[in-house]
């Protein structure tokens, strides 16, 4: 879950905004959960336009839509405690060498980070990934007892892109340091293997649309947004419903104007042509 500004405010705002739109009835009386937001790491100096194409930086511009060059993006993980159930929304990434070689801030294993909240990685029962990108589903190995929840649409979307007969779509990464926006390139082999490992060992639920995982704790599909099979998580808390999103928005304006962040799937001719032209 990455958000650029006023993160906690943004999450609450997303929650409030999204809660108002959630029409589906909750099956049982909702328990009240406690939630924490853990900053697993922070990507430094990321070009803002990379995540929000219509906000591309223009040198010398005083237009607030075009005068932000680079941003630092926290990689956040939702830690959710409902009764005895410990749930994670997303799980960041796990790559020590990447940390050493890039401008990444303060990464450390997520299991150690949640230990500071008094939680044991072995007690995490569910990991719900907003989507399957490496920086959101990259620490699954640290939670051996957890059941992974991932959308079937997400897996199908990756497979579709992988088998597409055009290298600009199917590329896992088509140039050194150059691939970041094509539909398949956010899924390194290691991440896909970790997801597959959970599925093979009976430690995964492949979700098909909406699902209530605990009373009041509900997965909502956000298909054809950031990725083909993104999903949100609605959580009841003492201050109302919160909805966790994963790269759902890049800024407050994005939330206000319903501009999704960095869509990386190809469902329209326009997007296909954009990939063709840009990459």
> Which CB atom, from 105 or from 215, has the smaller least distance to another protein?
105
Please identify which residue in 1, 2, 78, 216 interacts with another protein, judged by CB under 8 A. Answer: 2
Is residue 247 involved in binding another protein (CB under 8 A)?
Answer: yes
> Which CB atom, from 118 or from 177, has the smaller least distance to another protein?
177
Span of 6-14, 39-47, 55-63, 269-277 interacting with another protein by CB under 8 A = 39-47
> Which CB atom, from 8 or from 190, has the smaller least distance to another protein?
190
Q: How far is the CB of 158 from another protein (least distance, A)?
A: 7
Q: Strands across the sheet with 229-237, in order?
A: 211-214, 217-223, 229-237, 240-244
Size of the site for another protein (CB under 8 A): 59
Contact (CB, 8 A) for 131 and 148: no
The continuous run of DSSP H or E covering 18 comes out as helix 7-21
> Which CB atom, from 193 or from 276, has the smaller least distance to another protein?
193
Please identify which residue in 16, 44, 211, 267 interacts with another protein, judged by CB under 8 A. Answer: 44
Contact (CB, 8 A) for 261 and 226: yes
Please identify which residue in 179, 205, 267, 274 interacts with another protein, judged by CB under 8 A. Answer: 179
- Helix residue ranges per DSSP H, 65-176: 96-101, 110-115, 152-162, 167-170
Contact (CB, 8 A) for 114 and 79: yes
DSSP secondary structure string for all residues of 120-150: -GGGEEEEE-SS--TTTSS-GGG-TTPEEEE
Q: How far is the CB of 102 from another protein (least distance, A)?
A: 5
Strand partners, 75: 2, 41
92-130 b/e (C-beta count within 10 Å ≥ 16 → b)? bbbbeeebeeeebeebeebbebbeeeebebeebbbbbbb
Footprint of another protein on 62-121 (CB under 8 A):
73, 75, 95, 97-107
Q: Contact positions toward another protein, by CB under 8 A?
A: 2, 43-44, 46, 50-51, 73, 75, 95, 97-107, 133-136, 152, 155, 158-159, 162-163, 170-174, 176-177, 179-180, 184-190, 192-197, 199-201, 206, 247, 262, 264
């Amino acid at each position: 879950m990455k958000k650029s500004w006023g993160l906690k405010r943004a999450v609450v705002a997303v929650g409030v905004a999204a809660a108002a739109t959630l029409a589906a009835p909750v099956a049982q009386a909702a328990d009240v959960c406690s939630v924490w937001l853990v900053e697993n790491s922070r990507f430094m100096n990321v070009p803002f336009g990379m995540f929000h194409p219509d906000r591309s930086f223009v040198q010398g511009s005083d237009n607030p839509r075009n005068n932000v060059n680079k941003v630092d993006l926290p990689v956040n993980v939702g830690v959710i405690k409902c009764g005895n159930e410990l749930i994670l929304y997303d799980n960041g990434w796990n790559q020590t060498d990447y940390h050493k070689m890039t401008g990444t801030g303060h990464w450390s294993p997520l299991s150690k980070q949640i230990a500071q909240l008094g939680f044991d990685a072995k007690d995490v029962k569910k990991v719900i990934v907003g989507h399957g990108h490496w920086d959101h589903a990259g620490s699954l190995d640290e939670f051996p007892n957890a059941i992974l929840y991932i959308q079937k649409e997400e897996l199908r979307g990756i497979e579709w892109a992988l088998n597409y007969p055009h290298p600009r779509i199917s590329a896992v990464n088509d140039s050194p340091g150059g691939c970041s926006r094509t539909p398949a390139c956010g899924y390194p082999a290691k991440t896909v293997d970790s997801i597959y490992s959970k599925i093979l060992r009976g430690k995964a639920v492949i979700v098909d649309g909406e699902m209530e995982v605990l009373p009041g704790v509900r997965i909502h599909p956000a298909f054809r947004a950031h990725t083909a099979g993104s999903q949100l998580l609605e959580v009841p808390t003492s201050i109302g419903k919160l909805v966790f999103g994963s790269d759902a928005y890049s800024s407050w304006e994005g939330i206000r104007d319903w501009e999704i962040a960095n869509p990386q799937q190809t469902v329209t001719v326009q997007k296909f042509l954009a990939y063709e032209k840009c990459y």
